[in-house]
Amino acid sequence: MSIRDISVDTLAGAPTTLADLTGDKTLLIVNVASRCGLTPQYEGLVRLQRSYADRGFTVVGVPCNQFLGQEPGSAEEIQEFCAVNYGVDFPLLAKTDVNGEERHPLYAELTRAADAEGKAGDVQWNFEKFLVSRDGEVVGRFRPNVEPGDPALVEAIEKSL
């Protein structure tokens, strides 16, 4: 089964898959939080979305409250925060566990991928990024400190388009 076929819920609670939600686009899946020191990365994620959307790319935000409770809001609060503060115009999924016993099946697959240093496993913090090709293969993993505008990330996106 492809990552694109794993069942997920939208932020509004509607069941779907990444394939149905985004079509055959290249995806940058990012676990996000609204009360984190890295939250300003939303600005860069919105820029990536707007720069590459017409070439078959989308960011997918996955709210997660597992890192010091930095995403405590309801779905409505998360949607409002993202829209009002950052103009988020990419899909957001329901709040999801990315690590631990309740890890969502999407992240069970994503965390098998290694980062640039060859390390796979648990998500380290908010704003960890997974680049998924149109055919559902994880083609890049970027740790939280890699900004959305980082040349290595941008190059990987452009190569995958």
**Catalytic residue numbers, as ranges:** 36
Angle at the Cα of 115 from the Cα atoms of 31 and 154, rounded to 5 degrees? 70
CA distance 5 to 18: 6
Show the tokens assigned to 52.
């590459």
Strands (E), 19-80: 26-32, 57-63
Tokens of 157: 């996106």
